[in-house]
Amino acid sequence: MTPKTAVITGAGSGFGLETARIAARRGMNLVLVDVQADALEKAAAEFTHVQVLARVVDVAKAEPMEALARDVQARFGAPHFVFNNAGVGSGGLIWENSVSDWEWVLGVNLMGVVHGVRLFTPMMLAAAKADPAYHGHIVNTASMAGMLNPPNMGVYNVSKHAVVSLSETLYQDLSLVTDQVHASVLCPFFVPTGISQSHRNRPSEFAAAKPTKSQLISQAQTDKAVSSGKLTAADVAAMVFDAIDHNKFYIFSHPQALAGVQTRLEDVMLLRNPTDAFADKPEIGAALRAKLRAD
């Protein structure tokens, strides 16, 4: 039996690496993609019992992603699982973000997913048309920040809302043309991964200016929240494969956070102004306001 193939971006750490480990246990060929060469090399060295194609690629850039897709097609044929997972974080008051901040975050978080979808979906649809037994699944990593709008992290919110919209549309579009290829969106909350330190891989062309007070505050809060997360990246990777196995679209690492989504949607339906993001933890909101308003 020919092994299935998994394409995983952001495979050098976090959700990507843990997902690769599960895929390997299932006997899948691995296409591991990351922008950090040393992390990718270390990850690829783990997998000695399956075929591995490892590529250092900036997912934001069209041409390297197109070259990757050609290499995957030539080596393994159409993939069965595509995990558009690479992502970076950025915070601060939304008017304080530079053009470079916007271009870097939207490039990786949104265009990385766009390239994965536009390049691999046609390959998967062609495979489905040629083989009634073929089944494929695309999983895009968004965030609970794609379902909510937490303050002081606007660029990230915008990028992840776009990924949720892209993924929901992909799900609907696929349903029009095939029953063999499906899609899911992963919306994790705070889970210990490398994303809070993603500035380590920020390209020189998008060099960051000296951080503002709000950006320093956001970084500190994110570091604390991520490091205190009780779920692990491995737990979330297991959720991803459970969604694939049972054809579930929405993957939420922390379902309790959906209460905030309900409040947001009620705000919309009732035409009321957005509810205070810290309504359930006013002390956190008060502390943040005090820090931002201090001279």
Q: Which domains does the chain have, with CATH numbers?
A: 5-253 (3.40.50.720), 257-295 (no CATH)
Q: How far apart are CA 11 and CA 101, in angstroms?
A: 23
d(CA 272, CA 97): 28
CB-CB neighbours of 66 under 10 Å:
13
pLDDT-above-90 percentage for the chain: 83
Query: Is the pLDDT higher at 278 or at 226?
Result: 278
Tell me the per-residue pLDDT of 89-137, one tens digit each, with 9 for 90 and over.
889 999 999 999 999 999 999 999 999 999 999 999 999 999 999 999 9
Query: In degrees to the nearest 10, what's the CA dihedral of 58, 59, 61, 63?
Result: 100
The pLDDT score that the predictor gives to residue 224 is 73
Q: Is 77 left (phi over 0), alpha (psi -120 to 50) or beta?
A: left
- The residues carrying an active-site annotation are 156
Q: What is the pLDDT of residue 227?
A: 65
Cα torsion 218, 40, 55, 52 to 10°: value is -140
User: Range with the lowest mean pLDDT among 29-33, 82-86, 204-208?
Assistant: 204-208
In the prediction, which pLDDT does 223 show?
72
Taking the model in full, what pTM does it have?
Answer: 0.94
Q: Give, in order, the Cα–Cα distances in Å from 3 to each of 166, 170, 289.
A: 29, 26, 54
Name the residue with tokens 């690829």. 44
pLDDT tens for each residue of 39-84:
999 999 999 999 999 999 999 999 999 999 999 999 999 999 999 9
Question: Is 225's pLDDT higher than 70?
Answer: no
Distance CA 76, CA 53 (A): 9
